[in-house]
Amino acid sequence: MGSLAVMAGSPKALAELLSEAEHAIALTGAGMSTESGIPDFRSADGVWQKVDPMEVASLQTFITEPQRFWQFHRPRIDMLSGVDPNSAHVAIAELQRRGLLRSLITQNIDRLHSKAGSTDVIEVHGSLSRGECLQCKAMTTLGELVAKADGADDGVPRCDDCGFQLKSGVVMFGESLPPAEITAAYEAAERADVILVVGSSLQVAPVSELPAMVHQGGGRLAILTEGDTPYDEVADVRLRGKAGVQLSETVAALDAV
């Protein structure tokens, strides 16, 4: 692995790492989707610099002030529904197709991985693909959820069965992560000998613990973010810059092998 040490900041090094892995997985965060025009949350220009998430995106606000919650959430549904995958999503899907990524874990709720062709995406922070009632557990499609919100005088969609306000499938602040998805993520990390992190600051637990699990199990880390992460010093490959460019060059480097 001498060449990997020399080129630890290059797409070629990432291609080499992935090609030698027996069970590589990927973890993606908000930085993955910024090239599609979706703002991230925690950077200097992120969403949470402009608004307090506990005031507009928390379980407490949803329960006690559903109209305020939906005033923030409804426009975001339109914004997220109107964007397309970028070249980074396409590259991740191609790495999956080639069998170089065994599992794909994402903190994103925008469904862009699936739109790009990825399969079996583990969405640990939920997804916009559905609506749900926390009181009676009834489920709706996203289309039904939006229609109910737009048809309500106060903009709050309500359950046909029990009358309680509906939410999307996105995990709110103060709400537990979906058990099946977080279990699948941990199981993937336990099996992995390489984890590729793209666009995540690795500051939100418990997902931020996944690289540590891989590292402590003797696996290797590849990190592609523009900002710093707590794992930079132990990463075997550390890339910065645009994810679309770096991952596209990684796929090209694999083609050249």
Q: How far apart are CA 118 and CA 104, in angstroms?
A: 8
Beta strands at 121-123 and 166-170: parallel, antiparallel or unpaired: unpaired
Please provide the DSSP assignment of the chain as one string.
Answer: -HHHHHTTTSHHHHHHHHHH-SSEEEEE-GGGTGGGT---SSSTTSGGGTS-HHHHSBHHHHHH-HHHHHHHHHHHHHHHHT----HHHHHHHHHHHTTS-SEEEE---S-HHHHHT--SEEETTEEEEEEEETTT--EEEHHHHHHHHHHSTTS--B-TTT-PBEEEEEPPBTSPPPHHHHHHHHHHHHH-SEEEEES--S-STTGGGHHHHHHHTT-EEEEE-SS--TTGGG-SEEE-S-HHHHHHHHHHHHHH-
Residues catalogued as catalytic: 125
Region at 155 (left for phi over 0; alpha for psi -120 to 50; beta for the rest)? left
Among 184, 133, 143, smallest CA distance to 163 is for 133
